Amino acid sequence: MKVYRVKAVMLRHAYEVRRNIDRVTDMVYWPVLDTIVWGFFTIYLAHGGRSGGGLAGLLLGAAILWGMFYAFQRDMAVGFLDELWSRNLINLFSTPLGVWEYLCGLIVVNLFKVGAGAACAGLVAWVCYAFNIFPRLPQFVPFIFNLMLFGLALGVFTSGLIFRYATRVQALAWSFAGLLMPVSCVFYPPSTLPRPLRAIAWILPTTHAFEGMRQVLAGGGFSAARFWQALGLNAIYFALATVFFRWIFESARSRGLLVKLE
Partner 1 sequence: MLLEVRHLSKHYGNVLAVEDVSFGIEPGEILGLLGPNGAGKTTTIHMLLGLITPSAGEVRVFGRSFADHREEILQQMNFSSPYVSLPLRLTVMENLGVFARLYNVAEPRRRIGEMLELFGVKHLSDKPISRLSSGENTRVGLCKAMLNRPRLLLLDEPTAYLDPEIAWQVKQVLLAAQREFGTTILYTSHNMPEVERMCSRIVFMHHGRVIAQGSPIEITRAILKEERSEPALEEVFLRVVRLQEAS
Question: Which chain residues interact with partner 1 by CB under 8 A?
Answer: 82-83, 86-88, 90-98, 250, 253-256, 258-259
**Contact residues for 118 (Cβ-Cβ < 8 A; gap 6+):** 64, 67, 68, 71, 144
Q: What is the dihedral of CA 143, 149, 154, 159, to 10 degrees?
A: 150
Cα–Cα distance between 121 and 133 in angstroms, integer?
A: 10
Shortest separation between residue 99's beta carbon and partner 1, angstroms: 11
Shortest separation between residue 250's beta carbon and partner 1, angstroms: 7
Shortest separation between residue 188's beta carbon and partner 1, angstroms: 41
Shortest separation between residue 136's beta carbon and partner 1, angstroms: 37
Task: Compare residues 30 and 85 and give the one whose CB is closer to partner 1.
Answer: 85
Task: Compare residues 186 and 252 and give the one whose CB is closer to partner 1.
Answer: 252
Shortest separation between residue 245's beta carbon and partner 1, angstroms: 16
Task: Compare residues 107 and 197 and give the one whose CB is closer to partner 1.
Answer: 107
Task: Compare residues 100 and 129 and give the one whose CB is closer to partner 1.
Answer: 100
Shortest separation between residue 80's beta carbon and partner 1, angstroms: 13
**DSSP code per residue over the chain:** --HHHHHHHHHHHHHHHHH-HHHHIIIIIHHHHHHHHHHHHHHHHHTT---THHHHHHHHHHHHHHHHHHHHHHHHHHHHHHHHHTT-HHHHHTSS--HHHHHHHHHHHHHHHHHHHHHHHHHHHHHHH----GGGHHHHHHHHHHHHHHHHHHHHHHHHHHHHHGGGGTTHHHHHHHHHTGGGTSSS-GGGS-HHHHHHHTTSHHHHHHHHHHHHHTT----HHHHHHHHHHHHHHHHHHHHHHHHHHHHHHHTTGGGT--
Task: Compare residues 197 and 258 and give the one whose CB is closer to partner 1.
Answer: 258
Shortest separation between residue 247's beta carbon and partner 1, angstroms: 13
